[in-house]
Structure formats: C-alpha cells, structure tokens
Structure 1
Amino acid sequence: MRLITHPLAAVRDEHNWSMDDLSARMKRAARARGRRSGADRNRIWKWEARGVEPSADSQYLIADVLGIPHAEVDRLGWPWWLPVHAQPRPFTTTDSHAVLQETYVPHDRRAFLIYSGTALVALAEHWTHSTPAQARSLDTALDGGRLDEDLLNWLEQRTGELRAMSAHHQKVAAPLIEAHRSAVHELLDNARYEQPNELRLHSMAAQLGQSAGWNEFDNGHHALAQARWHTAVHAAYLAGDRDLGAGILADLAYQATWRAFPGEAVDILALARSRTQSPAARALLHVRTARALAVLGDRTGTHRALTSATRELDHAQPETTPAWVAWMSPADLEADAGRCHLDLGQPATAATAIDNGLGLLQPERDRTRAVFTVYRADTALADHDIPQAAAHARVALDTARATKAARCLDLSTALLGRLQQHRHHPAVRELVEYAGA
C-alpha cells in the first residue's frame, strides 16, 4: 500500500494524476486566464513532500483545475480547501460498529483528512436525534474466548489511571493509552460477552478515544484528533452514554473554535447540550459556547453562556460527576471567562478573571497553566503594559517547554511574535534573548 502523506497527493490519487499531469492541467488553467504557470513536477513535489505552501496564484490554478471557487481558497487556507475531507458516519448500530472496526486501519488518509465544520454540525445533529444503539447479542459475537470479569475490571481500572496520568505525564501516557485502546477494540471485535459487558467495553473505548484525541490535539495533529474523537463519540453512542458523547462533541467544537470556525462550534454545542444531563458537563458546554460567541463578538450571548456555566457548575456534585469531566472547576470557568472578556475588548476585566483562574488552578495542570498564562500575557499586551506582558510570556514559555506539548509551545511562539512589535522595549529584548537561549 502506497503511503499518501499530503492532501494534494490524495487529490492526485483520486483523479489518477501524476505530478506531471497536475502540472499540465495547471498550465492549461493559466493559459485560459491569459497567464503562465511555473508549476512543474519538482515544485509540486516540494508542496507535497517538503510542506512548502504554494503561492496564492498557484493555489488558484489548482482550484481552477478542481472547480473550487477562489473564495473557498481564501476562506479556508492551505491545504484545508482541498476537496479531500472525510464525511463522518451517522449514528446507527451498524455504522458505529464499522467506525470502531476502522480505527486501526494502517496509515491512511486520516493522517491529514479534516472533517469540515458543516460535516461536524451534521454529525452533532444526527447524534441529537439518534435512537439508542442495539447491542449485539452473545450469539453473534465473534469466535474469541468469553470475556473474563477480572480482566474487564482490570481494564476499567487501568482506563481511569491512564486518563489521569495523561493530564500530568502526557508523553508517557500517550503510547500506553493507544496500546490500551487497541486492546479494548480487540476484545470488542473478538471476545464473547453479554450486553452489560459490551456497554462497559464501549465506554472504555470512548474514554480512551477522547484522551487519545486530546493527546493528538495538544501535539498539533488536528486531523488525527478529529479521527480519534469521531471514533470515541460513536463508542459513547454504543455505550448509551449521552453525557460522554456530548463531551466529545464539545471537544470537536473546541477544536473548531481553535481553528477559527466559531460559528460551527456554537451550532455543535447547542445540539450537544440538548441531550446532556450532568451539571458539570453542561457547564463545560456553556463555557465553550461562551468562548466561541466571544470570538464572534456576541457580547450578550457570551455573558448569558458564562452565567449558565456558573449556575450549572454550582449544581455539580463530585460524587455524581462523570470522570471524564471531573477536571472542570471554577479555575477553568474563571480563566476561560477572562479569555472571553479579552476577545470582547475588556482587558482589565479579563486580567482579573484570569488571575483568579490561575490562582485556583491545581499545580499539576501544567498544560492548562501554560495556556492560561498566554491569555494573561495577552491581557497585559492589550492594556499596553509591555513589562507585564513580557513577564507573563516568559512564565508561559517556561511552562510550555516543560510540558513539551505542541499546542502550548505554538501558543507561546505566537505570543512572542505579537510582542515583536515592541522589540525595542528592554523587557521584550530580554525576553527574545531568553527565548533563543
């Protein structure tokens, strides 16, 4: 099997085009516009193999070849406008089982495929209206051995431990989670079990898939994160766990906001929230709705969502809160509210809220601390307090480097870029020298 490592290569593969074929088509498209194209096999190879981004003119020519409007090229950016997006499966017992069975297909296009925002909204809508999954009967299970109760208990305990470990030791936990997830899927495919144990296995698959998605997201692998979360939400459906399914949809919505699709995030969250029962889960969905609405500049909607999040979190009880959302705390609510205030142009209010959140945050949550500290630096920058912004940026950088999470490092790097406009300030010069050391 030939490994396809770039969406442009996938486009060519779907059309059975060589690099020379694409080059020739681009040249014809250029001539039709009264222009010339310098695209050749070597240049196309650099786009695919070296990650070089084509010029805007070259992208427009590729779009002409594929019949894609130039407005989509501008709106989505390279390479997300290329037409190789996957379509999530609907929620039926047959489709959901198929999703889980596809999880460990060897390297394929899911290494770069991204579900579009529209497809994710459709996925959430179908989830909202789906009927409970029908469990497979014992007679139709595959011909493996009967699932041992002691093994099932052990797997459940390890699942919880690995999820907890991932929050503090991601690099160590990530491969263990993948191995554990593989074992659970293997049992789902080959062991014999009764319905209650099937539900338990699917619940583990969903929880492990959610954690695996966050590991990929933190390392900047957005397509793989979506693939993991897509599998996880189907596993939650098969487990009959509506709250967990809503939480995984909320993760996809958070990623959509992160990737500058806040409108789609709002739609996904509204659909997910309609079937959620846990107060802590509902609080999380309201917070993420507030974040997306703040990016959209909806001041009233943002404050309404934050008020709802506060009310729901006040009603949450530790003994009834699902493990996957047990981390949701006043610290998260405060800091995310601060980010909302910053997006709405209220840096002073934002600074107070983020300081409160950082003060309440558990010491071991380093990745979250790195993100929140970047937010705090941005509030100082928005308030034109350059020394304060540089001081927070240094803390954020140190914390991000300690986590080694790409998401945190990228945020810190982008912050340094925003500070470059003040590069003549002594505090910024010192920070730049420190960052490069």
Structure 2
Amino acid sequence: MVTTTGDEPLPIRIETTDVEALEAAVGVLRALDYRQGGGFCRDAVRVVKTASLLLHWGTVPDPLRARLFTVLADVHNLLGWTEFDIGHDVPARRRFERALELATEAGNDNLVANIRYRLGRLHLHRHDVAGALTEFAHGRAAALRSDSRRALAILAANEAWALAMGGASRAALVRLEEAEAAFAEAATWPEPRPWEAFFGTADMAAMRGTVLTELASVPADAITHLTEAAGRYGTDMARSRSLTLIMLAQNHAAQGDFDEATRVGTEALDLARDLGSVRPKDRLAPLERLLRDCPPDRAVTALLDQITRYRSDPLP
C-alpha cells in the first residue's frame, strides 16, 4: 500500500476501504484459529506490519484513527491468543500487552475487556488462579465502562472457572449463575464485536460443564452440559469441540464408565491431531491419569498409547 520514490516513502491517505480490508483479514485469521488452532495463523504478522505501516506513513482521517488502532489492537490480541495456543507464553504476554496499549489508545474498552479475558485464560491454563482472577477483574471493569453485557457474561463465566479451580465452590457457582442469567438475555444484546462473537450457547454449556468438572462434585451433571456443548460445536469450532470432548471423556472416566471414556477420548484425539494447538495435549493429562488407574482393558491401553504418541509429536 505504501509506494516509494527512490528510498523515500510517499505519504498516503488512509481510506475506509483500507481499514475494511484489514478487518476482513483479521476475521479470516480468527476463523482459521477457531477451526485449526493458532499454529495455522502465522499470516497474522503480515496484517500487523500492514496496519503499522499505515499508521506510521499514512495520513489517517480523525474518524478512522480509532478504528485503525482497534484493528491493530485486535490483531495483536489474536496473535497473543495464537502464541498462547502453541505454548509460547512469554511472546503471548508481549502481544497482549501491546494490544492493551493500542486498544486503550483507540478508547475501546470492549476490546480491553476481551484482552484481559484472554490474559486471564493464559493464567488459568497454567493453574495460576490468582493471576487469572486479577485479569478477569480488570476485564470486568473495562466491560462495565463499555456497557457490554456479553463481555460481562464471558468474564463472569471464566471467573467461575477460576474460582472452581481454586476450590471456592460457593463463589464459583454464584458467578456461574450470574453468567447464565446474563446470557439468558443474549437475544436482546447488540451484535457482538468480532473478538467476542465466539461466545454462544455452546460456550455457556461448556463453561457450566467445565466448572462442575473442576468442582468434581456431580460428574453426571457435567456430562450433560459437556455433551450438549460438544453437540453444538461444528467444524468451524474444531478446537473447542476437541477440548470439550476431552473433558467429557474425563468425566466418564471419573464415573468409572471407561468404555464411554475411551470412545469419547478417541474422538477428541482424532480431532486434536489436526489442530495447531498444544492445549489439547495439556488438557489430556487428567484423562490420562484416570485411564491409567482403571482395570486392565485392551481399548484403554490402545488409547493411552495414542495419547502418549500424540503428546510427544510436534504440532502439524
């Protein structure tokens, strides 16, 4: 987009179509991340470079400036998520921090809330409950400033997960009920922003199943909600479906139903093999421990062998 004469860049005027093209590119990459995992989203770096060049060399009309900063913040947010998805925590944090700076510059509190949610998920995946709750609290404050009920529901559901992981069962269930009560009114909400549009009925069911799994109270209830969530995830959300199936298999194993745990676990593994994500590898650890404790069984042994190979294989 930037032309030069010799070594000197020519000033360009940024048009709405330039920003729309960047927004569309981020949308394509986000869909690829949901479907195949962060390892397949390497082209996001090119979008960052393009947007950065536009900001540096271009003349940006005031009405487009916040929108362009938002695009750049959004793609850094996406890059942080993809780095997290492939197990690169330090680069992920750097991307999220840059995304926060840009979203703040854009005055976009809704996006700030989403970035804080994703930072919280990074902490949660590493079982850092305190770190996760701190980020979710910052996110909730930003969501309140932006008056986004969807962002508040997403954060409440994830706070419930963190509280359950930390053993605060009563508080976890209260936050979960708040999220569900809010989400029950989702039909009245404005159209979601691109970065929060993923959170739908399937995700709410998955979050209830996840919280109940963490609380290890009633596996049958967790199974009901996780089964519903897995059934709602299509091929466009393959990673979410794989992670949900892994947790579903874990609950079947916790109930002593190793036949169903093996069946569901095999389905989850088949999906996970094609994903550019380390998260299924990490999430398989509790299921693997439960399967190793079960009575000798040929199918279980075969699945354990597959899990061992998959967890040691590099990402596609």
TM range (shorter): 0.7 to 0.9
- Indicate the residue corresponding to 2:257 in structure 1: 385
Matched to 1:310, the amino acid is: E
Question: Which residue does the alignment assign to 1:257?
Answer: 124
Deviations 1:318-373 (A, max 9, x none): 64321211110121111121111111122122111111211222332110111111
Residue 378 of structure 1 aligns to a residue whose secondary structure is helix
Which of 60, 79, 82 does residue 193 from structure 1 map onto? 60
What's the CA shift for 1:171? 6.3
- Are the aligned partners of 2:38 and 2:83 in contact in 1 as well (CA < 8 Å)? no
Q: 1:408 aligns with which of 280, 288, 292?
A: 280
1:283 aligns with 2:150: no
Matched, 1:212 2:84: no
What aligned pairs does 1:59-98 form with structure 2 within 5 A after superposition? Answer: none
Choose which of 211, 219, 224 in structure 2 pairs with 1:340: 211
State the distance in 2 between where 1:324 and 1:400 align. Answer: 23
Letter in 1 for 2:72: A
1:171–1:283 Cα change, 3 Å: closer
Aligned to 1:353: 225
Determine the C-alpha separation between the residues in 2 that align with 1:170 and 1:355. 22
Q: Which amino acid aligns with 1:378?
A: Q
How far off is 1:432 after superposition? 3.0
Listed one character per residue, the Cα deviations across residues 63-114 of structure 1 (whole Å, up to 9, x for unaligned) are xxxxxxxxxxxxxxxxxxxxxxxxxxxxxxxxxxxxxxxxxxxxxxxxxxxx
Contact conserved, 2:124 with 2:132, CA < 8 A, in 1?
Answer: yes
Counterpart position of 1:303: 173
Q: Does 1:323 align with 2:194?
A: yes
What is aligned with 2:164? 294
Alignment map for 1:93-104 (pairs within 5 Å): none
Deviation of 1:257 after TM superposition, in Å, equals 1.3
1:239-258 to 2 correspondence within 5 Å? 239-258=106-125
Distance 1:220 1:418 in 2: 24
The one of 68, 75, 88 equivalent to 1:221 is 88
| Corresponding letter in the other structure for 1:421 | D
2:22 paired with 1:155: yes
Alpha-carbon distance in structure 2 between the residues aligned to 1:188 and 1:252? 26
Bigger mean CA offset, 270-279 vs 236-245: 270-279
TM-score by length of 2: 0.86
Structure 1 residue 414 displacement after superposition: 5.9
Distance (whole Å) between structure 1 residues aligned to residue 192 and residue 236 of structure 2: 20
Q: CA deviation at 1:411?
A: 2.5
- Asked if the contact 1:393–1:416 (Cα under 8 Å) also holds between the matched residues in 2, the reply is no
Question: CA offset at residue 159 of structure 1?
Answer: 2.6
Code of the residue aligned with 1:419 in structure 2: it is: L
**Contact 1:243/1:281 (CA < 8 Å) preserved in 2?**
yes
More helix by share: 2
Aligned residues of 2:38 and 2:81 also touching (Cα < 8 A): no
Is residue 386–residue 427 contact of structure 1 (8 Å, CA) maintained in 2?
A: no
Q: Answer with 1 or 2: which has the greater Rg.
A: 1
Shift of 1:239: 1.1
Q: 1:371, 1:411 within 8 Å by CA — same for their partners in 2?
A: yes
Amino acid paired to 2:284: S
Cα deviation, residue 242, structure 1: 0.5
Quote how far apart the aligned CAs of 1:418 are: 4.3
Aligned to 2:6: none
Bigger shift: 227-236 or 386-395? 386-395
Query: 1:366–1:256: structure 2 CA closer, same or farther, 3 Å change rule?
Result: same
Give 1:434 shift. Answer: 4.6
**Cα distance in structure 2, aligned partners of 1:428 and 1:319:** 47
Q: How many angstroms does 1:413 deviate by?
A: 5.7
Aligned CA distance change for structure 1 residues 173 and 196 (closer, same or farther; 3 Å): farther
Secondary structure of 1:391's match?
helix
* RMSD after superposition: 2.3
Distance change in 2, residues 1:237/1:229 (3 Å)? same
* Equivalent residue, structure 2, for 1:105: none
Output the amino acid matched with 2:246: V
Partners of 1:257 and 1:245 lie apart in 2 by 18
- AA at the equivalent of 1:239: A
Residues 194 and 360 of structure 1: CA distance in aligned 2, closer, same or farther (over 3 Å) = same
How far residue 161 of structure 1 moved from its aligned partner, in angstroms, is 2.9
**Is the CA contact (8 Å cut-off) linking 1:243 and 1:275 kept in structure 2?**
yes
CA distance in 2, matches of 1:431, 1:160: 36
Give the drift of 1:401. 0.2
Cα displacement (A) at 1:219: 0.7
Say whether residues 1:369 and 2:241 are aligned partners. Answer: yes
Greater mean alpha carbon deviation, residues 385-394 or residues 332-341? 385-394
Q: Percent identity?
A: 26
CA contact (8 A) 2:37 2:85 kept: no
Higher relative contact order (CA 8 A, sep 6+): 2
The Cα shift of 1:220 comes to 0.9
Residue 158 of structure 1 and its aligned partner are, at CA, apart by 2.4
Unaligned runs of 5+ in 1: 1-141
1:199 is aligned with what amino acid?
A: A
Residue pair 1:278, 1:321 contacting (<8 A) in 2 also: no
How many residue pairs match? The answer is: 296
Match of 1:39 in 2: none
CA separation in 1, counterparts of 2:216 and 2:17?
A: 55
User: Take 2:295 and 2:202, find their aligned partners in 1: how far apart are those partners?
Assistant: 32
Q: Deviations over 1:403-431 (max 9, x none)?
A: 13222233236633542233723331232
